[in-house]
Amino acid sequence: MTVCILGNGLTALTLAKVLVNCEINVEILYNKKNYKISSSRTIGITKNNIDFFNNDIINIKKIIWKLKRIEIFSDNLKKERLINFKANNDHLFSIVKNKKLYQLLEKDLSKNKFFRSKFSNVKNLSFLNKYELIINCDPSNFITNRYFSKKIIKKYNSYAYTTIIKHDQIFNDTAFQIFTKKGPIAFLPISNRETSIVYSIHNSTNQKNENIEQLIKDKNFKYKIRNIKKIDSFELKSLNLRSYHYKNILAFGDLLHKVHPLAGQGFNMTIRDIKILLEIIKKRVDVGLPLDNSVNLEFQKQQKHKNVIFSNGVDLVHEFFNIERKMKFSFLSKSVKLVSNYPFINKMFAKIADRGVLF
DSSP string, 95-162: EEEHHHHHHHHHHHHTT-TTEEEEE----SSGGGGG-SEEEE--TTSHHHHHHS--EEEEEEEEEEEE
User: What is the C-alpha separation between 162 and 296, in angstroms, rounded?
Assistant: 34
Q: How many residues does the chain have?
A: 359
Q: How far apart are CA 186 and CA 196, in angstroms?
A: 8
Taking the whole predicted model, whether its pTM rises above 0.75 is answered as yes
Tens-digit pLDDT profile for the chain (359 aa)? 899 999 999 999 999 999 999 999 999 998 876 567 888 889 999 999 999 999 999 999 999 999 988 888 877 655 667 667 676 667 788 999 999 999 999 999 999 999 999 888 766 667 778 899 999 999 888 899 889 999 999 998 889 999 999 999 999 999 998 888 888 899 999 999 999 999 999 875 554 556 899 999 999 999 999 999 999 988 999 999 999 999 999 999 999 999 988 777 889 999 999 999 999 999 999 999 999 999 999 999 999 999 998 888 888 877 766 666 566 555 455 555 544 554 544 554 555 555 655 43
- Note the pLDDT of residue 339: 47
Measured in degrees and rounded to the nearest 5, phi and psi for residue 18 equal -60, -45
Local structure of residue 230 (DSSP, 8 states): P
Rg for the chain (alpha carbons), in Å? 21
Neighbour order of strands in the sheet with 2-6: 115-119, 25-30, 2-6, 133-136, 249-251, 245-246
Cα-Cα-Cα-Cα dihedral sign, residues 218, 223, 229, 232: negative
Closest by CA position to 274, among listed 299, 291, 297, 292 = 299
Phi-psi map region of 89: left, alpha, beta (phi>0 left; psi -120 to 50 alpha): beta
3-class DSSP state of 48? helix
Percentages of the chain per state (helix, strand, coil), in multiples of 5:
40, 30, 30
What is the DSSP code (8-state) at residue 260?
-
The DSSP element (H or E) to which 197 belongs, if any, is: strand 194-202
Whole-angstrom distance, CA of residue 283 vs CA of residue 261: 34
Residues 6+ apart with CB under 8 A from 66: 90, 91, 93, 94, 173
Neighbours of 165 (CB within 10 A): 20
> Left (φ > 0), alpha (ψ -120 to 50) or beta: where does 287 sit?
alpha
Q: What is the pLDDT, as a whole number, of residue 359?
A: 38
Return the CATH number of the domain spanning residue range 2-67+98-152+239-331: 3.50.50.60
The answer to whether 132 and 290 have CB atoms below 8 angstroms apart is yes
